[in-house]
Structure 1
Amino acid sequence: MTAASLAELAPLRPFATRDGTRLDVRAAFSEDEAVLESFFENVSAEDRRFRFLAASRHVGHDQLYPLTHCDHWRTESFLAFDHESGVLVASAVLACDAKMETGEIAVSIRNDWRGRGIGWAMLDLLGEEARKRGLRRVISIEDRDNHAAIELERERGFVPRAIDGDPRLLLLEKRFD
């Protein structure tokens, strides 16, 4: 599939971050596996561990497959590209439960693009998409050591709580009631 035909399937949505960085966001498809693999090589080892809740030097096919083979309703994987350079700078996922009440979210940002408001923009996008789908809430499961993500999510209205049986993890929840 060519870039032009991908654009027809998943038109680019312009997004601006709070510092003015312009992003083009679209859904991910199977043809994006290589670009996502390269993207995760530019995400810090610690952030890869936080995203997949496991240490990994390389994000391979088994981890990328769910990000590139979505049904585009119950599960959606978003790619955010820098508008100027076309570089993939962020990956975000919304995975809904069978009842379409709760969606779990996850966001990763290239190490050299952190601190530009991209996390805020991606959380806003995921919240907007969750509302479109009629979800009542979104959750994020974070390692307690992921202070940056926990603080960002709290700033965006997420409420943290402990996860029974796993003192290492924290569940953050945002309700849309």
Structure 2
Amino acid sequence: MDTEDTTGDLITRTGFHFHIRHAEPEDEAIVADFFKHVTPEDVRFRFLSGMKSVSHERLVEMTSSSDARRVNFLAFSPNETLLAAAMLAVGKDPQRGEVALTIRDDYKHQGISWEMLAHICRYAERHNFKSIESIESRENHAAIELERDMAFRAYTDKDDPTIVVLRRDFRP
């Protein structure tokens, strides 16, 4: 996917300023360190698995800038602390995407996830996506509430009752 328009300076409802850009392979160490500041529960929610740490292979995926079907976003504080990491990927239908977002535990409740997800939604709209989806554990109430507040609709996954699929449509 195009990464030219991924960059931006955002301000949350609380007045917190941060910078967002696409990830580069050189960011792997920064992203690895970032996950030391993410709760085990949030790692489980992000990857929908019980893994204890993020593997080198996952980190490479999360910092790749050459995958035409995925863009990875990183959010940085003014002092260069990595606050959040997100991914927008496309599957078989290039007009439908899947989004996943993780935030550092010590930066929650400042509106960063909201602004970052809004930025990704604007990116998806500019790139003519019809919709984006987020696959969430039913236990991840904060993410489900955030996505519902941002016009995502919740759907039951017929194959897995432990997850919910949230979709935001951009065009009828």
Q: TM-score range by the shorter chain?
A: over 0.9
Q: 1:23 aligns with which of 5, 18, 22?
A: 18
TM-score normalised by the chain length of structure 2: 0.92
After TM superposition, the structure 1 stretch with the greater mean CA deviation from structure 2, 34-43 or 69-78, is: 69-78
For structure 1, the 5+ residue unaligned runs are 1-8
- Verify: 1:79 aligned to 2:74, yes or no: yes
Residue 14 of structure 1 contacts residue 23 of structure 1 at CA under 8 Å; is this kept in 2?
Answer: yes
Tell me the SS of whatever aligns to 1:66: helix
* Structure-2 residue corresponding to 1:172: 166
Q: Deviations over 1:36-77 (max 9, x none)?
A: 000011001000000011112211212111111133653100
Taking structure 1 as reference, are residues 34 and 43 closer, same or farther at Cα in structure 2, changes over 3 Å only? Answer: same
Taking structure 1 as reference, are residues 80 and 150 closer, same or farther at Cα in structure 2, changes over 3 Å only? Answer: same
Tell me the SS of whatever aligns to 1:115: coil
Q: For 2:69 and 2:16, how far apart are their aligned partners in 1?
A: 29
Deviation >6 Å, runs of 4+: none
Residue 93 of structure 1 contacts residue 106 of structure 1 at CA under 8 Å; is this kept in 2?
Answer: yes
The amino acid of 1:86's aligned partner reads: E
1:1-177 matched pairs, under 5 angstroms: 12-71=7-66, 74-83=69-78, 85-177=79-171
Q: For 1:153 and 1:99, how far apart are their aligned partners in 2?
A: 22
CA RMSD across the alignment: 1.6
Residue 95 of structure 1 contacts residue 104 of structure 1 at CA under 8 Å; is this kept in 2?
Answer: yes
Taking structure 1 as reference, are residues 41 and 161 closer, same or farther at Cα in structure 2, changes over 3 Å only? Answer: same
Q: For 1:12 and 1:134, how far apart are their aligned partners in 2?
A: 18
The amino acid of 1:82's aligned partner reads: S
Count of aligned pairs: 168
